[in-house]
């Protein structure tokens, strides 16, 4: 950070009022006139701003579960930033931006499984681990992040019940079942 002192000992750093800026160039400290950055407001710039604004609006329209999906798969960034990046890229490539498919599973008898859980892994990373205490579990998935592994748990026991290699081809699984654990989930329609 640039810090320039005048003969009275006052230290300046960054913007000084509305007219001056303290800066450094190649190790030399100086004060210069503040110049407002240009806002070209070209057609391309307006389009980019519109796409970004629409991406942000779409993020806020996602359900908590859909946002949780992006938070779980994001690496070295927030789920918000991952979603915005993917959205803008899709628009630039003239593709439809992808929104996670939200799926609610319920126990087939509609009874809770007190120590039961539905887990979903993508790329070896667990992205959902949802309790079945209320007899219902909601997850969100995108075709582009396949493959998925669906796991049912009861206490410490677990069983991988289904691997979906390509969600865009197979669609969302309608039934998840482990006879060994005594859990059967069906997708709500």
6 pLDDT band (50/70/90 cuts)? low
Per-residue pLDDT, 19: 82
Mean pLDDT across 47-59: 97
Provide the pLDDT confidence category of residue 14 given band limits of 50, 70 and 90.
Answer: low
* 118 lies in the same domain as 147: yes
**With 90 as the cut, is the pLDDT of residue 21 above it?**
no
Q: How far is CA 22 from CA 1, 11, 26, 35, in A?
A: 9, 10, 14, 12
Tell me the average pLDDT of the chain. Answer: 90
pLDDT at 151: 98
Count of structural domains, the chain: 3
Q: What is the CB-side half-sphere exposure of residue 79 using CA atoms within 13 A?
A: 17
Instruction: Convert the pLDDT of each residue in 100-139 to its tens digit.
Output: 999 999 999 999 999 999 999 998 899 999 999 999 999 9
Task: Please name the residue that has the structure tokens 């075709």.
Answer: 143
Tell me: do 56 and 88 sit in the same domain.
yes
The answer to whether residues 27 and 66 belong to one domain is no
Structural domain includes residue 2: no
CA–CA separation, 187 vs 189, rounded Å? 6
Phi-psi bin for 26: left (phi > 0), alpha (psi -120 to 50), beta? left
- pLDDT, tens digit, 9 for 90 and up, residues 23-35: 766 767 777 788 8
* Residue 170 within any structural domain of the chain: yes
Residue 120 CA, distance from chain mean position: 16
Report yes or no on 116 lying in a domain.
yes
Reduced to 3 states (helix: H, G, I; strand: E, B; else coil), residue 7 is: coil
Q: What is the DSSP letter of 70?
A: H
- Residues 26 and 47 grouped into a single domain: no
Q: Are residues 115 and 176 in the same domain?
A: yes
Q: What is the DSSP string of 132-179?
A: -TTSEEEEEE-GGG--EEEEEEETTEEEEEEEES-HHHH-S-SEEEET
Give yes or no for residue 39 having a pLDDT over 90.
Answer: no
Considering the domain boundaries, does residue 51 fall inside one? yes
**Is residue 1 domain-resident?**
no
- pLDDT tens digit string along 60-97? 999 999 999 999 999 999 999 999 999 999 999 999 99
Q: Are 33 and 67 found together in one domain?
A: no
pLDDT of residue 105: 97
pLDDT over 60 (residue 10): no
- Top pLDDT among 55 and 37 is at 55
* Judgement on whether residues 88 and 25 belong to the same structural domain of the protein: no
**Domain CATH number, residue 116:** 2.60.40
Domain that holds residue 112: 101-187
Of the pLDDT bands very low, low, confident and very high (cuts 50, 70, 90), residue 4 is low
pTM of the model: 0.78
């Amino acid at each position: 950070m640039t810090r320039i002192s005048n003969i009275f000992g006052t230290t300046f750093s960054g913007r000084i009022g509305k007219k001056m800026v303290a800066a450094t160039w190649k190790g030399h400290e100086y004060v210069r006139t503040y110049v407002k950055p240009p806002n070209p407001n070209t057609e391309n710039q307006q389009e980019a701003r519109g796409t970004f604004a629409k991406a942000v609006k779409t993020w806020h329209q996602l359900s908590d579960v859909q946002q949780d999906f992006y938070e779980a798969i994001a690496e070295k960034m927030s789920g918000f930033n991952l979603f915005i990046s993917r959205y803008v890229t899709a628009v630039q490539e003239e593709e439809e931006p992808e929104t996670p498919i939200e799926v609610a599973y319920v126990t087939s008898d509609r009874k809770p499984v007190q120590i039961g859980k539905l887990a979903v892994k993508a790329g070896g990373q667990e992205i959902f681990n949802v309790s079945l205490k209320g007899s219902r579990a909601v997850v969100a998935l995108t075709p582009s992040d396949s493959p998925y592994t669906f796991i049912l748990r009861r206490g410490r026991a677990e069983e991988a019940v289904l691997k979906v290699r390509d969600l865009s081809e197979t669609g969302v699984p309608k039934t998840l079942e482990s006879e060994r654990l005594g859990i059967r989930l069906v997708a709500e329609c």
